[in-house]
Amino acid sequence: MGRGARLGIASSLFATAVGLIVFVSMAFLRTNPPTLDFASGHTAGKPVDLTLQTVGAIGFGPHPDWVSYLTKSPEGQWVHTTLWDLPAGTRIDVTIDEYDSGSPLRNPEIGQIYGVSGNAALVNGKKVSLINATEGNGVAHTFSIPELGVNVPLYGVDSNAKNFCNSAPCSLSEAHNVIQFSFMTPKDTGQFPWQCFVPCGAGYFYGNGGPMQTTSYMDGFVKVVD
């Protein structure tokens, strides 16, 4: 085989490799969850409203049976993401519509509410500082930002409810609990992981795999920006 032919084959292989790299990169970008921006245009001193929902089964995408969080965008649309830009030194008023059933906790301490205003939350309008997961409907998930010392357990929905939500986004007409609380973002910028601490990855070792380890399902990042 002549030198020209070898160069032609090498060039062809190189072009193919580059094409595959570009294809894989674009595929990753298409599937990477978006970051919702709550910081741009924010007026200093005013709180930011952050509305979420937790569902027992997302109902779409590559893992339709996985539990998941969703976030309402500043424009009012439900988005399958757990990545947010939040302004520094700002009160974040959180509302979580919780649509999943609950269970007892392996670690009862997770039932404590702390790191938020008054170390308490409103659960369907009632102020609570602790959820005893051995009573009632138990705890479905948590909203926890370890580096900021935030932990809020989410009271579960009665699994016998007739209007149980089976696919996201869920509507307010379906069985759910409303959890409300506030926390302050730090004055210094940075990126802080947050997650659910209730093992809810059904079918995975001790429930800690799958959605528990996947961004846009049961964990995400709070990016605090100027």
Q: Is the peptide bond before 74 cis (omega within 30 degrees of 0)?
A: no
Is 112 found in the same domain as 38? Answer: yes
- CATH code at position 126: 2.60.40.420
* List of long-range contacts for 106-112, beta carbons under 8 Å, 24+ apart: 106/199, 107/197, 108/132, 108/133, 108/134, 110/139, 110/142, 110/151, 110/153, 110/197, 110/198, 111/139, 111/153, 112/151, 112/153
Is 129 found in the same domain as 164? Answer: yes
**Per residue in 73-131, pLDDT tens?**
999 999 999 999 999 999 999 999 999 999 999 899 999 999 999 999 999 999 999 99
The per-residue pLDDT for 26 is: 34
Is 90 found in the same domain as 51? Answer: yes
Is 20 found in the same domain as 120? Answer: no
Closest-CA residue to 74 (of 106, 34, 104, 30): 34
Is the predicted pLDDT of residue 9 greater than 80, yes or no? no
Is 70 found in the same domain as 169? Answer: yes
DSSP state of 43: P
Is 59 found in the same domain as 97? Answer: yes
Total domains present in the chain: 2
Rounded distance between C-alpha atoms, residue 63 and residue 86, angstroms: 28
Report how far apart the first and last C-alpha atoms of the chain are (Å, whole number): 61
Mean pLDDT value across the chain: 88
**Per residue in 180-214, pLDDT tens?**
999 999 999 999 999 999 998 877 777 789 999 99
Closest-CA residue to 67 (of 215, 222, 203, 202): 202
Alpha-carbon radius of gyration of the chain: 21
Phi (first) and psi of residue 6, to 5 degrees: -65, -40
Is 66 found in the same domain as 161? Answer: yes
Least confident of 67-71, 77-81, 175-179, 198-202: 198-202
Is 42 found in the same domain as 27? Answer: no
The per-residue pLDDT for 15 is: 40
Rounded distance between C-alpha atoms, residue 74 and residue 52, angstroms: 12
The per-residue pLDDT for 20 is: 33
pTM given for the model: 0.85
The per-residue pLDDT for 2 is: 55
Under a CB-based contact definition with an 8 Å cutoff, are residues 41 and 87 in contact?
Answer: no
Per the document, the length of the chain is 226
Is 180 found in the same domain as 77? Answer: yes
Sign of CA dihedral 131, 217, 191, 179: negative
Is 172 found in the same domain as 122? Answer: yes
Cβ-in-10-Å burial (0-12, 13-18, 19+) of 43 comes to exposed
Is the predicted pLDDT of residue 21 greater than 60, yes or no? no
Mean pLDDT of the region 16-25: 35
For residue 181, the surrounding DSSP H or E stretch is strand 177-184
Is 106 found in the same domain as 10? Answer: no
pLDDT above 70 covers a percentage of the chain that reads: 86
The parent domain of residue 162 ranges over 34-225
Closest-CA residue to 137 (of 177, 93, 102, 98): 102
The per-residue pLDDT for 166 is: 84
The per-residue pLDDT for 1 is: 53
**Per residue in 158-169, pLDDT tens?**
989 999 998 999
Is 177 found in the same domain as 167? Answer: yes
